A and B are shown apart, each in its own frame.
Chain A
């Protein structure tokens, strides 16, 4: 049981320390600076702010109509 208790306490210490280290690293690395602009990192030139990137697939009827229109033109 002593071994298990030791492992558990070591794990607690390691994970607790990891959280503190992560917080300090984030602060030192500037992760908490310019926070409003940081929210935009998921956008880029191809998918800029304002571009909607998901929609339902078109219905079959619509697709066949569009295809026939394209053929006619």
Chain B
């Protein structure tokens, strides 16, 4: 479809507009139509990943060496830590997730991407909001509400930037090619609906017209927990449900289970957040309802775990040859782990130990990093070559990226789980002073900083590799990674896959 025949935004939004549905569009053409917006979101997300990583390292070092950069007001712990949190969840994770969502939506709707300029504007506005918000936090304007520290003057920009993406998603879904709606699309459309609901509600209730007292904590944790489960999780699972079968060339083990997983996540997750307030001054029924819902989360998680494992059955050897699969399967395994752990954390007896300790930090990183970030890395390894038209430059760099992430995650999990558990036991022991307990965590915090160094190496290696791809300095296309032209596809069909 040429630009001249492309529908205007008004036409796309008009309920009466009946577009001609394009059928049998070549997949490479669909990929090419997503190039600019997806690369814009990916590029900015990686810049935010690097910025967030630097903030993470500074925060981590400050926990065991408080004097580090202590005389620079805008780099004090109270500013750098929220700057880290917000740049990684909104700057990196959300921006990368939106990029993957755009690409997947176009592929799964089997149609060319509509209104790319609208997405480019969205990317610009979203990033402007991020820059203003981050500078605001560093300048001392943080709202001091966890996961929502961006000052009030930056959030309208984020909301507008996001709204454009949400509207685009609805347009794409409306004008998709006829046929079945794949499970990944269910997750993506749901995420696009859930995020504005979460973000809009919490802005109204905590920033625009703040509710009073402990209700603030309930609203805060309703958002903070749901942004993981109803924004990042659906995007991550959508990617896993697409890429795992697609890479190994085998349909999902049980499509019934995938539908059950989606609807049970939609039903139960929204109630989970209040389990972070066990023992807090909030109505007991709120916490109890949350504990029950957290336990019910075993259903969607088990379903997803069984489905992914059984899909991979007999294909695990491909982990050695596919970078996408390696990252995504690791992420999917961590999804199972973090979700089971999350359900267990809802129990009052377990909460008694882990609450207010480094275990909570471990849990958050297991979800946001080991699951979501690894799935995003894997998705980018699949998508980027199809957009820039060349292979990744170096297998060694990809392997270095993976193993630095892998060992970084393992080290961080060990350090924070052991340190957090001992810290929790200490906090429940009246014979131990707070100072003694705090000092006992220092070796584990140093371990966390070491893991951060590994992750920093991984991120800079990935960013360097990504820049090479943007500059089209990768390898010429031709391996199994690329199927963008019919000629290549036909050639591939006649030969054994290079990976095998």
Tell me whether A1 and B209 are in contact (CB under 8 A).
yes
Of the listed stretches B40-48, B140-148, B248-256, B409-417, name the one at the interface; the rest are far from the partner chain: B248-256
A contact residues around B497 at 8 Å (CB): 51-52, 55
Determine the chain B residues whose CB is within 8 A of the CB of A23 once the complex forms: 263
Closest 3 CB pairs of A and B: A55-B499, A46-B489, A39-B251
Residues of A within 8 A of B498 (CB): 55, 58
**Chain A residue contacts of B318, Cβ below 8 A:** 52
A47 touches B323 (CB 8 A): no
User: What per-residue 1/0 map shows which CB atoms of B234-255 lie under 8 Å from chain A?
Assistant: 0000000010011111111001
Closest chain B residue to A56, Cβ basis: B395
Chain B residues in 8 Å Cβ range of A41 = 179-180, 182
Which of the residues A4, A15, A52, A56 comes within 8 Å of B205, measured between beta carbons?
A: A4
Which residues from 13 to 65 on chain A have a C-beta closer than 8 Å to any C-beta of chain B? Answer: 15, 18-19, 23, 26, 31-32, 35-36, 38-44, 46-60, 63
Residue of B108, B182, B247, B399 touching A53 (CB-CB under 8 A): B247
> Could you tell me the distance between the alpha carbons of A15 and B256 in the complex, rounded to whole angstroms?
25
Interface size class of B (residues with CB under 8 A): 35 or more
Smallest distance from the beta carbon of B313 to chain A beta carbons, Å? 15
Are B395 and A59 closer than 8 Å at their CB atoms?
yes
Choose one: B197, B255, B480, B492; the contact of A38 (CB below 8 Å): B255
Min Cβ gap B195→A in Å is 11
B280 is an interface residue with CB less than 8 A from chain A: no
B32 beta carbon closer than 8 Å to chain A? no
A11-B201, A15-B193 as given contacts; A53 in contact with B481, CB under 8 Å: yes
Closest residue of A by beta carbon distance from B107: A42
Residues of the A chain whose Cβ atoms lie less than 8 Å from the Cβ of B255 = 35-36, 38-39
Which residue on chain B has the smallest CB distance to residue A4? B209
Q: What are 23 residue pairs bridging A and B, where the CB atoms are less than 8 Å apart in the complex?
A: A4-B208, A8-B204, A36-B255, A38-B182, A39-B255, A42-B246, A44-B27, A46-B493, A47-B483, A49-B250, A51-B492, A52-B249, A52-B318, A52-B497, A52-B500, A53-B480, A54-B324, A54-B325, A54-B382, A54-B480, A55-B479, A58-B395, A58-B479
Give the contacting residue for A8; candidates B27, B201, B499; CB below 8 A.
Answer: B201
Interface of chain A: mostly helix, strand, loop or mixed: loop
**Alpha-carbon distance between A59 and B498 when the two chains are bound, in angstroms:** 13
In the complex, residue of chain B having the shortest beta-carbon distance to the beta carbon of A40: B251
Q: Which residues of A contact B475 (CB under 8 A)?
A: 57-58, 63
Pair A57/B256 contact, Cβ less than 8 Å? no
- B149: CB under 8 A from chain A? no
Please list the residues of chain B having a beta carbon within 8 angstroms of any beta carbon in chain A: 27, 108, 179-182, 193-194, 197, 200-201, 204-205, 208-209, 242, 245-252, 255-256, 258-259, 263, 266, 318, 321-325, 381-382, 391-396, 398-399, 474-475, 479-481, 483, 486, 489-490, 492-493, 497-500
CB-based contact B480/A55 at 8 Å: yes
Give the total number of A-B pairs whose CB atoms are below 8 A apart: 133
Q: Which residues of A contact B396 (CB under 8 A)?
A: 59
Q: Are A52 and B499 in contact (CB under 8 A)?
A: yes
Nearest CB of chain A from residue B386's CB, rounded to whole Å:
10
Distance of A53 Cα from B244 Cα, bound (Å): 10
- Give the Cβ gap from A63 to chain B, nearest Cβ, in Å: 7
- A residues near B (Cβ < 8 Å) are 1, 4, 7-8, 11, 15, 18-19, 23, 26, 31-32, 35-36, 38-44, 46-60, 63
Q: List the A residue with the shortest CB-CB distance to B394.
A: A57
Of all chain A residues, the one with the shortest Cβ separation from B486 is: A46
Known: A19-B266, A23-B263, A51-B497. A7 touches B324 (CB 8 A): no
Determine the distance from Cα of A23 to Cα of B247 in the docked complex, in whole angstroms: 30
Residues of the A chain whose Cβ atoms lie less than 8 Å from the Cβ of B483: 46-47, 53
Give CA–CA (A58, B475) in the complex, Å: 9
> CB-CB < 8 A to A26: which residues of B?
181
B324 to chain A, nearest CB (A): 5
Contact of A7 among B27, B180, B204, B322 (CB under 8 A): B204
CB pair A39 B197 closer than 8 Å: no
In the complex, what distance in Å separates the CA atom of A8 from the CA atom of B393? 50
Contact A56/B321 with A32-B259, A46-B489 known, Cβ cut-off 8 Å: yes
Residue in A19, A32, A47 whose CB lies within 8 Å of B246? A47
Q: How close is A37's CB to chain B, nearest CB, in angstroms?
A: 8
Chain B residues within 8 Å of A54, by CB = 247, 322-325, 381-382, 480-481, 499
Assembled-state Cα–Cα distance A15/B325 (Å) = 34
Residues of B within 8 A of A58 (CB): 395, 475, 479, 498
Report B-chain residues with C-beta under 8 Å of the C-beta of A60: 394
The reply to whether A55 and B493 contact each other, CB–CB distance below 8 Å, is no
CB contact under 8 A between A42 and B182, given known A15-B193, A47-B483:
yes
- Additional A-B contact list (15), CB under 8 Å, known A48-B249, A54-B382: A35-B259, A41-B179, A42-B182, A42-B242, A43-B251, A46-B490, A47-B246, A51-B249, A53-B382, A54-B499, A55-B321, A56-B323, A56-B392, A57-B391, A58-B479
Chain B positions within 8 Å of A53 at CB level: 246-247, 249, 382, 480-481, 483
CB atoms of B489 and A56 under 8 A apart: no
